């Protein structure tokens, strides 16, 4: 017996793996050879796959399509109507499936509503992509990225709090007291 919820208006193709306690709501479609982890939630009108891998604890809001070539690690948040691409130069009259570029969304990152992620990039752990941002290049761990094209305007903690670095390049999360170190535009926990 399945230990997940699929709304009666949604379609799940053959050869799909869905983890326990995952919920897929209205008018969604999961295509073949897709793997979805435990404790995930998909809002209405989502399309996933084919051949997509999604980790545990991922929250996908309404109107999000996750195409082949996209991999999503654990605890990622995908805001309403955000967009992934998988080909750099699509044409309706040319089949370019062999040119799909891999896009990796790392653990704990969040992508805001209506953001666009151009294929072939990696979004680092716990990065925060602002609503409406267009991501065209790699995003490091803990980066706060906004605009079109997206630019790093600061850094955030694992909980998404804005970090303020002192003269020794150390910042402290106000909620957890976790310390962070900034060196050469890379942030690590210490």
CATH number of 92's domain: 2.160.10.10
Domain extent, residue 15, equals 5-164
Question: Residue 82's pLDDT is what?
Answer: 98
Average pLDDT for the chain: 96
Question: Residue 61's pLDDT is what?
Answer: 98
**Do the domain assignments include residue 22?**
yes
Is the pLDDT reported for residue 56 higher than 80?
yes
Give strand pairing partners of 134.
116
Q: What digits encode the pLDDT tens for the residues 89-139?
A: 999 999 988 888 999 999 999 999 999 999 999 999 999 999 999 999 999
Question: Residue 1's pLDDT is what?
Answer: 56
Q: Which residues contact 189 (CB under 8 A, 6 or more apart)?
A: 158, 178, 179, 180, 181
Q: Rounded to two decimals, what is the model's pTM?
A: 0.96
Number of domains in the chain: 1
- The least confident of 1-5, 142-146, 172-176 is 1-5
Rounded CA gap, 184 and 177, in Å?
23
**Do the domain assignments include residue 54?**
yes
Q: Which residues contact 186 (CB under 8 A, 6 or more apart)?
A: 140, 141
Rounded CA gap, 63 and 80, in Å?
6
**Do the domain assignments include residue 188?**
no
**Do the domain assignments include residue 175?**
no
Question: Residue 115's pLDDT is what?
Answer: 98
């Amino acid at each position: 017996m399945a230990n997940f919820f699929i709304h009666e208006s949604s379609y799940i193709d053959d050869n799909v793996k869905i983890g326990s306690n995952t919920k897929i709501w209205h008018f969604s479609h999961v295509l073949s050879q897709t793997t979805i982890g435990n404790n995930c939630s998909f809002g209405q009108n989502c399309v996933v796959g084919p051949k997509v891998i999604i980790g545990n604890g991922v929250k996908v809001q309404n109107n999000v399509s996750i195409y082949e070539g996209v991999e999503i690690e654990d605890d990622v948040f995908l805001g309403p109507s955000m967009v992934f691409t998988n080909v750099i130069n699509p044409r309706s009259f040319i089949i370019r499936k062999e040119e799909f570029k891999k896009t990796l969304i790392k653990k704990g990152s969040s992508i805001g509503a209506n953001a666009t992620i151009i294929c072939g990039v990696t979004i680092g752990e716990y990065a925060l992509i602002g609503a409406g941002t267009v991501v065209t290049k790699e995003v490091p761990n803990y980066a706060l990225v906004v605009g079109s094209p997206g630019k790093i305007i600061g850094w955030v903690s694992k909980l998404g709090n804005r970090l303020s670095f002192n003269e020794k390049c150390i910042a402290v999360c106000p909620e957890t007291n976790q310390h962070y170190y900034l060196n050469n535009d890379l942030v690590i926990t210490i």
